[in-house]
Amino acid sequence: MKHAKRLQSLMLGASLLAAGIPSWAVVDSPGGPAVRQLNFHQPVTKIAEEIYSLHTLMLVICLVIFVAVFGVMFYSIIKHRKSVGFKPATFHESTAVEIAWTVVPFLIVIGMALPATKTVVAMKDTSNADLTIKVTGMQWKWGYDYLKGEGEGISFLSALSTPHEQVVDPTKTKNDNYLIEVDNPVVVPVNKKVRLVLTANDVIHAWMIPAFGVKQDAIPGFVRDTWFKAEKIGVYRGQCAELCGKDHAFMPIVVNVVSDEDYKKWTEGKKKEMAAKADDPNKVWTIDESKQRGEKVYAANCVACHQANGKGVPGAFAALDGSAMVTGPKAAQINMVLNGKGGMPPWKGVLSDTDIAAVITYTRNSWSNKAQENIVQPAEVLAARK
């Protein structure tokens, strides 16, 4: 069945390509949207199944009401028209009819509300979780911190991994997961209850995976939570579902649901990877070393707002090229990057001391900037945190 569907997609893609339409536009995305998909994603959690069933129930009820109301209306129009000699009845009111059109809709609403309320209550029950993950939305990526359960202490950023040339050049062939692929997916074990604690660094975001039946806002200054328990191993995709700025469309979410054994291997490997990347804050960096690392940090985290040329976006994001903040005393810039200000989010919980020192050094020595205090060491950032 799966192979037949894939073959159908490929044949359709070949036909469209012959017509001048790129074939990548009609290929199913594993764990994401499918070709000619009209209904919800296939549910892989109990909550998603209940949502799917509720959707079907409500649709059937609405369809029955539609057919009944319009059936009676058109029957009356045709059967009781003047051209066939029908004489209209003369009456003022009907107590029975008035009671009926009050009681019947009330009973219908109650019948719809009871199962919906049961599902909503279940959606909010985040107790007895096997794993707790903090999710932080930021323009335009996600931060994940494993707070409780196996994997506690793991922390990483997850951003769009679709090559930039595919986004800006319409002639480039798009891959199957165009705009819904990330560099660091979330990994969770199958059949385990995962609690998500959500917040945001800058504006309102929303974490959504349709196959899980999960959509929860992440709001700056507030903590919201939700949960899921995936019952099927696989890769599941979603996106930020709240308009959060110019790159809102480039903020995908990917969750890998794996077996307990594979999850244990992943946590062990991730912790080793984090330990290998950990830097000694007392190490003294040369300006060239710091600039080289800072350029990578800037490209990964800052370029969307401040632009590659440091000119920013007029009226939205400040320019760094020629900025008095960047060319002035470094203490002020360290504080700004750590704690944020205005539209600038705080980065102290996202970037390491070494990364913050490197990116500040890079900005103070790039474009037309020639700051007198031209290098920042990780130890200075560490001291500013206290």
Pick from 312, 313, 345, 347: which is nearest to 326 by CA?
A: 312
Q: Which domain, by its residues, includes 115?
A: 46-81+97-124
pLDDT tens-digit map of 246-274: 899 999 999 999 999 999 999 999 998 88
Please report whether residue 59 resides in a domain.
yes
Cα–Cα distance for residue pair 236/195, rounded to 1 Å = 17
- What local confidence, expressed as pLDDT, does residue 9 receive? 47
For the chain, the average pLDDT equals: 88
Contact 377, 364 (CB under 8 A): no
Please report whether residue 327 resides in a domain.
yes
- What local confidence, expressed as pLDDT, does residue 132 receive? 97
Given a cut of 70, the residues of the chain with pLDDT beneath it are 1-26
- What local confidence, expressed as pLDDT, does residue 341 receive? 85
- What local confidence, expressed as pLDDT, does residue 46 receive? 96
Structure-token pair, residue 89: 């009845």
191 and 312 within one domain: no
- What local confidence, expressed as pLDDT, does residue 173 receive? 84
**HEC secondary structure over 119-181:** HHHHHCCCCCCCEEEEEEEECCEEEEEEEECCCCCCEEEECECCCHHHHHCCCCCCCCCCCCC
Using DSSP, state whether 206 is helix, strand or coil. strand
311 and 240 within one domain: no
Q: Residue 376, Cβ neighbours under 10 Å: how many?
A: 29
Q: How many CA atoms lie within 13 A of 275 on its CB side?
A: 6
- What local confidence, expressed as pLDDT, does residue 320 receive? 95
304 and 270 within one domain: no
303 and 271 within one domain: no
Cα–Cα distance for residue pair 360/298, rounded to 1 Å = 9
- What local confidence, expressed as pLDDT, does residue 3 receive? 46
- What local confidence, expressed as pLDDT, does residue 15 receive? 46
pLDDT tens-digit map of 118-150: 999 999 999 999 999 999 999 889 999 999 999
372 and 273 within one domain: no
pTM higher than 0.85 for the full model? no
**Domains identified in the chain, total number:** 3
Altogether, the residues listed in the chain come to a count of: 386
- What local confidence, expressed as pLDDT, does residue 14 receive? 46
- What local confidence, expressed as pLDDT, does residue 13 receive? 47
- What local confidence, expressed as pLDDT, does residue 185 receive? 96
- What local confidence, expressed as pLDDT, does residue 300 receive? 87
298 and 381 within one domain: yes
Contacts of 74 (CB under 8 A, 6+ apart): none
